[in-house]
């Protein structure tokens, strides 16, 4: 399998090289040049690990079979995921299943990719016979940061530097990151919002001069954000796996199309679902759910992507994003791998903060995608209802997708079985969850709320956040956007 740039501006590379490089250095993202097809009948009975192997092996063709198997065993086991299914399903009713993607070490769906990706990356560096230390730069809206820190901590030959928006993450997310141990981890608070952080990191990747300075000092930058192909490909697995589980539960027959509803920020999770669909997974509709930062809802409804708008901080901070990086991969693919259009649109985006797609592209998108958004009020109401009616706790991000799913069903009458991606443990965003359920918003200490939420629900506190306030704080660095290169150099001693 070869990998190409969405903007047609780079040479063809193999998967290891795409993963090691992260983003195309001259702008653009690496994508497979074709989508492999699979036979769902053949794969339907596999356990998570064996299915993971079948899927990863189709895309990561320059990794040895034994290598992939060993990484899968190290990543997807009972030590890291406290559930034999890795990603268990919880049925709310006959047509709605919640796919719990948060049983990993940091309580967010990012663990599914970031527990395995460090193995891809260090192996890729070896294949390239690189003698440089890999420096992972991460911009995070909260969950990626901690998941990447846990994935990369103490991994030989790597260092990881995480940038998060100073006021853009929850207290628990911040504490999860600041208490990370390990001899190669660095965490820096940035004066700015997530988009500022992400743009800052992208600019550092694209800064040839700066990269040369680091190279000469023995370092090489790479990315653990979902702009890296190594982040996306493991996410394809759980779309197939959950589909097969639904069939095993007798809710559908293999071959019946279902819907997936995904709380979306950077478009990485839902894009993996779209790749699964292209590989042969029977899907009727993808429901792209946003919070009030609804740039994607507007885009899918009008064909105009307009990032120049007010930015809101919401109770679902991992979706407080106005520039959805992976949309570029999607637009490339839905246009039959057309780099000219991507060049034009992303040039417009850079120049004016917006772009407009042609009608035929929009029509193709709307055949398979529908989009909606949930207000903050709607998020609270749905969390309350899920608990009162189903005795089920959902986090704020999952609640966004539940609300949008319900509205979609009311509007269209489409009652196709729907899998809702649940992207975080409710304990991670407990302030909103607790007040939505009890009506009491007087307690602002997120650590005290862990016990309270557990007591009223009878659900055990997720191990990722239990006792977090007792851990030692290891990281206190801060930076402004303009000082970020200096901070990287200081950390690396360059
Ligand atoms: C990252 C994240 C999202 C958004 O996922 P994308 O792949 O960026 O669309 C949604 N919910 C939670 C809890 C997350 O951590």
Distance 317 CA to ligand 1 centre (A): 9
110 is catalytic: yes
**Residue 314 confidence (pLDDT):** 94
- The answer, yes or no, to whether any atom of ligand 1 lies below 6 A from the CB of 269, is yes
Helix (H, G, I), strand (E, B) or coil at 423: coil
Q: Which tens digits make up the pLDDT trace of 310-339?
A: 999 999 999 999 999 999 999 999 999 999
For ligand 1, what atom is nearest to the CA of residue 424? 13
Q: How confident is the model at residue 194 (pLDDT cuts 50, 70, 90)?
A: confident
CA dist 233 and 68 (Å) reads 13
CA dist 330 and 347 (Å) reads 17
pTM of the model: 0.95
The CA–CA distances, whole Å, from 407 to 48, 411, 420, 423 equal 32, 6, 14, 20
- The answer, yes or no, to whether any atom of ligand 1 lies below 6 A from the CB of 263, is yes
CA dist 137 and 198 (Å) reads 10
Q: Is the pLDDT of residue 83 over 90?
A: no
CA dist 446 and 129 (Å) reads 46
Mean pLDDT of 50-60: 98
- The answer, yes or no, to whether any atom of ligand 1 lies below 6 A from the CB of 318, is yes
Nearest Cα to 275, choosing from 286, 265, 261?
286
Nearest Cα to 462, choosing from 476, 477, 446?
446
- The answer, yes or no, to whether any atom of ligand 1 lies below 6 A from the CB of 424, is yes
Q: How confident is the model at residue 206 (pLDDT cuts 50, 70, 90)?
A: confident
> Are residues 278 and 35 in contact, defined by beta-carbon separation less than 8 angstroms?
yes
Mean pLDDT of 427-455: 95
Helices (H), 353-458: 359-368, 376-390, 396-412, 430-438, 446-457
Beta-strand ranges (E) seen in 182-292 are 185-191, 219-223, 258-263, 283-290
Q: Which tens digits make up the pLDDT trace of 104-145?
A: 999 999 999 999 999 999 999 998 888 899 999 999 987 999
Residue whose tokens read 């995921």: 81
Q: Is the pLDDT of residue 195 over 90?
A: no
Among residues 14, 20, 110, 431, the one annotated as catalytic is 110
Residue with the smallest CA separation from ligand 1 atom 15 is: 143
- The 10 Å Cβ neighbour count of residue 388 is 10
């Amino acid at each position: 399998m070869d990998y190409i740039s969405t903007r047609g501006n780079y040479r063809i590379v193999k998967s290891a090289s795409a993963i090691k490089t992260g983003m195309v250095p001259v702008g653009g993202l690496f994508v497979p040049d074709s989508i492999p097809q699979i036979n769902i009948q053949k794969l339907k009975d596999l356990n998570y690990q064996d299915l993971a192997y079948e899927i990863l092996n189709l895309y990561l063709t320059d990794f040895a079979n034994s290598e992939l198997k060993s990484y899968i065993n190290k990543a997807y086991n009972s030590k890291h995921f406290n559930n034999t299914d890795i990603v268990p399903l919880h049925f709310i009713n006959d047509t709605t299943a919640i796919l719990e993607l948060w049983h990993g070490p940091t309580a967010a769906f990012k663990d599914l990719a970031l527990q395995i990706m460090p193995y891809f990356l260090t192996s890729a560096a070896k294949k390239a016979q690189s003698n440089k230390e890999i420096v992972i730069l991460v911009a995070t809206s909260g969950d990626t940061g901690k998941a990447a820190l846990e994935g990369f901590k103490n991994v030989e030959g790597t260092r990881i530097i995480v940038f998060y928006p100073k006021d853009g993450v929850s207290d628990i997310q911040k504490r999860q990151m600041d208490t990370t141990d390990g001899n190669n981890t660095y965490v820096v608070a940035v004066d700015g919002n997530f988009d500022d952080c992400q743009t800052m990191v992208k600019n550092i990747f694209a800064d040839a001069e700066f990269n040369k300075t680091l190279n000469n000092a023995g370092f090489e930058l790479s990315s653990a954000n979902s702009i890296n192909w190594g982040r996306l490909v493991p996410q394809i697995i759980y779309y197939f796996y959950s589909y097969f589980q639904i069939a095993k539960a007798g809710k559908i027959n293999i071959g019946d199309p279902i819907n997936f509803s995904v709380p979306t920020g950077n478009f990485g999770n839902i894009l993996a679902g779209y790749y699964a669909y292209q590989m042969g997974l029977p899907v009727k509709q993808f429901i792209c759910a946003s919070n009030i930062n609804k740039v994607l809802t507007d885009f899918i409804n009008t064909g105009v992507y307009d990032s120049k708008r007010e930015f809101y901080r919401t109770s679902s901070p991992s979706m407080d994003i106005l520039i959805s990086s992976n949309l570029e991969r999607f637009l490339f693919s839905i246009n039959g791998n057309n780099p000219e259009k991507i060049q034009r649109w992303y040039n417009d985006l850079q120049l004016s903060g917006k772009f407009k797609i042609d009608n035929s592209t929009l029509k193709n998108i709307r055949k398979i995608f529908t989009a909606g958004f949930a207000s903050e009020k709607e998020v609270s109401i749905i969390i309350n209802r899920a608990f009162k009616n189903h005795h089920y706790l959902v986090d704020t991000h999952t609640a966004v997708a539940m609300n949008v799913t319900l509205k979609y069903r009311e509007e269209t009458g489409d009652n196709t079985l729907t899998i809702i991606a649940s992207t975080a443990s409710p304990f991670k965003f407990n302030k909103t969850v607790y007040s939505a359920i009890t009506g009491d918003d007087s307690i602002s200490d997120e650590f005290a709320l862990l016990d309270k939420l557990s007591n009223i629900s009878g659900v055990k506190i997720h191990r990722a956040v239990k006792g977090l306030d007792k851990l030692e704080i290891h990281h206190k660095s801060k930076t402004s956007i303009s000082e970020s290169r200096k901070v990287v150099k200081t950390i690396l001693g360059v």
